[in-house]
């Protein structure tokens, strides 16, 4: 072990969140070390967002084309599976991180490869694969950005059956014949969409009543309808009670007495924080726990420890984690500069207000699901006086031009006391790029009166905004 090397800030984990944190503290004029045990770029780049969207893009492109007369007959064939997988491999740069390492070098961050563990106050010890250990000490802050991994529910036999996790599902080079997906959230729905289209026969097991339960109920209904039309089976209100594997076949017993055989099981049943082996015990925190942070992403009870991205459990999304990293970078910079007493005002520059009010999420299924802010149920549960306004997306010319027989739905949730939007949800082909208009309206708390002056172009899908405003005005 060599002497400790001192930096202003040490970042643990070089996923998208750690990278942005490093960039922002460098921009604040501080020195930074960043520690990574796998690939610089994290799960997002190699086993989550990028490969899943790379796999989905051809599926959605074909589905969209099949909804346009004149093109439909040209795209009736099956997907070119090797071509789809090769494009995915290229999008993840063949699981090599040279490009992102070059970027880190460019911002002046020092990369340490190995497992990083907090080993005391303001201190991280890195254990390299060659057995070498390096202690890093931080003058100002340690940032934990170690992400999350897939949870495996305690179903007897499940772990022994060697199920796929989200990493396997996004990186597989094989198409399983029969794929059983446990879980009906974003990962389960997206991966069911991919593998059904690539040739698997997919069965989904959903414990609750429908898919995508965190979004407005109509979203899950539209996605389920489409998955069923594509040939997938969706079993709701059931759980796996036991799993046995014989040779290449896995048999799953369900709570309703049915038993299902599959060649692969994908477990997409939630996430756990990657904090079990990062030395939390050395500073009195519970290994394996989510890290509770304030609005500047500082861990409760510490003046030097920060946590951003999946580990703080605010919103397990890359863009929200990067947003948190921008804020904590500025906060660490300000505190290092002059110990600034940071604003706790809701609109202060160093507070993650969007985590509470305006988290945006797109689920890239067919149809796409896009939501920001609160659902009606969430707004009511939070005590707001609200009205939901619904519109069929086919009410505007743009959707009819986009697809024959366009199916989709939109909802705004209006705060009746302030006449601003608390939440917006769109479900339908091509709505992903519509979402940011809603994010601006919700995050900016744009009064409904002003929204009338944001005139959507004709004939775009965005004209759904007019229909929603008209329906609100007319009391529909």
Q: Which stretch binds ligand FAD (CB under 6 A): 42-50, 66-74, 196-204, 247-255?
A: 42-50
Measured distance CA(476)–CA(474) in Å, rounded:
6
User: Which of residues 304 and 406 has its CB atom nearest to ligand FAD in the complex?
Assistant: 304
Token reading at 277: 């082996």
- Identified binder of ligand FAD from the candidate list 23, 60, 84, 116, rule CB under 6 A: 116
The contacts found for 377-383 with CB under 8 angstroms, 24 or more apart, are 378/423, 379/413, 379/415, 379/422, 379/423
For 425, counting Cβ atoms within 10 Å of its Cβ (0-12 exposed, 13-18 middle, 19+ buried), the class is buried
Site for ligand FAD in 379-418 (CB under 6 A): none
From the list 31, 125, 166, 399, which residue makes contact with ligand FAD (rule: CB under 6 A)? 166
Taking CB under 6 A as the criterion, the residue among 8, 23, 36, 415 binding ligand FAD is: 36
**Least Å distance between CB 443 and ligand FAD?**
16
Is 33 among the residues that bind ligand FAD (CB under 6 A)?
A: no
User: How many angstroms separate the CA atoms of 407 and 175, rounded?
Assistant: 29
Site for ligand FAD (CB under 6 A): which residue of 123, 170, 193, 352? 170
Segment interacting with ligand FAD (CB under 6 A) among 8-16, 130-138, 228-236, 349-357: 8-16
The verdict on 310 binding ligand FAD (CB under 6 A) reads: yes
Span near ligand FAD by CB under 6 A; candidates 83-91, 228-236, 314-322, 416-424: 314-322
- Any residues with CB less than 8 A from the CB of 120 and at least 6 apart, and which? 282, 283
Cβ partners under 8 Å of residue 274, min gap 6: 13, 146, 147, 148, 149, 310, 311
Cβ contact 110:13 at 8 Å: no
CA dihedral of residues 399, 404, 408, 414 (deg, nearest 10): 20
Choose one: 14-22, 58-66, 338-346, 448-456; the region binding ligand FAD (CB under 6 A): 14-22
Alpha-carbon separation of residue 168 from 13, 86, 149, 163, 268 (angstroms): 21, 16, 12, 9, 11
* CA of residue 394 relative to chain centroid, distance: 28
- Give the nearest distance from C-beta 159 to ligand FAD in angstroms: 18
Site string for ligand FAD, 132-151 (x = CB under 6 A): -------------xxx----
Told to check if 318 binds ligand FAD by CB under 6 A, we report: yes
User: And the tokens for 288?
Assistant: 């394996």
Residues 182-241 that bind ligand FAD (CB under 6 A): 187
Nearer to ligand FAD, 316 or 422 (CB): 316
Name which position in 8, 18, 266, 295 contacts ligand FAD (CB under 6 A).
Answer: 18
Nearest residue (CB) to ligand FAD, 279 versus 398: 279
Query: Which of residues 309 and 423 has its CB atom nearest to ligand FAD in the complex?
Result: 309
Pick from 92, 278, 379, 403 the residue near ligand FAD by CB under 6 A: 278
Residue 46's contacts (CB-CB under 8 Å, 6 or more residues apart) are 39, 92, 95, 97, 171
Whether the CB-CB separation of 223 and 234 falls below 8 Å is answered with no
106, two tokens: 């460019």
Looking at beta carbons, which residue is closest to ligand FAD?
15
Cα 102–chain centre separation: 25
Tokens at 334, concatenated: 């300000």
Query: Given the rule CB under 6 A, which of 29-37, 172-180, 229-237, 289-297 is the region that contacts ligand FAD?
Result: 29-37
We find the least distance from the C-beta atom of residue 115 to ligand FAD, in angstroms, to be: 5
Q: Is 360 in the site for ligand FAD (CB under 6 A)?
A: no
* Least distance from ligand FAD to the Cβ atom of residue 261, Å: 25
Least distance between ligand FAD and beta carbon 99 (Å): 15
Interface with ligand FAD, residue 43, by CB under 6 A: yes
Q: How many Cα atoms within 13 Å fall on the side-chain side of residue 272?
A: 13
Answer whether 291's CB lies under 8 Å from 285's CB.
yes
Contacts 24+ apart (CB under 8 A), 315-318: 315/355, 315/359, 315/361, 316/148, 316/271, 317/359, 317/361, 318/16, 318/17, 318/44, 318/48, 318/49
Indicate whether 429 belongs to the interface with ligand FAD (CB under 6 A): no
Residue 14 or 109 having the CB closest to ligand FAD: 14
Which residues contact ligand FAD by CB under 6 A?
Answer: 12-18, 35-38, 42-44, 48-49, 52-53, 115-116, 145-147, 166, 170, 187, 274, 278, 309-310, 316-319, 321
């Amino acid at each position: 072990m060599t002497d400790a090397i001192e930096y202003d800030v040490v970042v643990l984990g070089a996923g998208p969140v750690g990278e942005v944190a490093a960039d922002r503290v460098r921009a604040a004029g501080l020195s930074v070390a960043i520690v990574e045990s796998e690939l610089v770029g994290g799960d997002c780049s190699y086993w989550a967002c990028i490969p899943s969207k790379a796999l989905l893009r051809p599926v959605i492109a074909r589905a969209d084309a099949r909804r346009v007369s004149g093109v439909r007959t040209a795209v009736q064939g099956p997907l070119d599976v090797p071509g789809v997988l090769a494009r995915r491999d290229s999008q993840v740069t063949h699981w090599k991180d040279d490009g992102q390492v070059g970027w880190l070098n460019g911002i002046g961050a020092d990369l340490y490869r190995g497992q990083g563990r907090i080993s005391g106050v303001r201190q991280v010890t890195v254990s390299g694969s060659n057995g070498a250990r390096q202690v890093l000490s931080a003058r100002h802050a340690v940032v934990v950005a170690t992400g999350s991994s897939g949870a495996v529910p305690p179903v007897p036999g499940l772990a022994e059956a060697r199920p796929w996790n989200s990493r396997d599902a996004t990186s597989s080079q094989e198409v399983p014949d029969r794929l059983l997906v446990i879980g009906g959230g974003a990962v389960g729905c997206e991966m069911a969409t991919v593998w059904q289209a690539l040739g698997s026969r997919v069965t989904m097991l959903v414990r609750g009543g429908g898919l995508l339960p965190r979004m407005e109920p109509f979203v899950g209904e539209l996605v389920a309808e489409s998955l069923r039309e594509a040939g997938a089976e969706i079993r709701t209100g059931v759980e796996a009670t036991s799993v046995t594997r014989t040779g290449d076949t896995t048999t799953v017993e369900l709570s309703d007495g049915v038993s299902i055989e599959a060649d692969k099981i994908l477990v997409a049943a939630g996430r756990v924080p990657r904090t079990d082996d990062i030395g939390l015990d050395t500073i009195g925190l519970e290994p394996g726990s989510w890290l509770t942070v304030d609005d500047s992403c500082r861990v409760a009870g510490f003046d030097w420890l920060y946590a951003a991205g999946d580990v703080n459990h605010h919103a397990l999304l890359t863009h929200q984690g990067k947003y948190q990293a921008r804020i904590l970078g500025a906060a660490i910079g300000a505190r290092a500069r002059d110990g600034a007493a940071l604003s706790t005002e809701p609109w202060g520059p160093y507070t993650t207000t969007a985590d509470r009010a305006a988290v945006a999420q797109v689920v890239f299924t067919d149809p796409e699901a896009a939501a920001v802010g609160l659902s009606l149920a969430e707004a009511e549960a939070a005590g707001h006086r609200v009205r939901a306004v619904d519109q069929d997306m086919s009410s505007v010319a743009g959707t009819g031009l986009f697809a024959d027989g366009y199916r989709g739905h939109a909802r705004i949730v209006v705060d009746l006391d302030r006449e601003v939007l608390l939440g917006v949800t769109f479900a339908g082909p091509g709505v992903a790029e519509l979402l940011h208009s809603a994010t601006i309206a919700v995050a900016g708390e744009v009064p409904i009166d002003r929204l009338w002056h944001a005139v959507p172009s004709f004939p775009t899908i965005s004209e759904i905004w007019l229909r929603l405003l008209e329906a609100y005005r007319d009391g529909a």
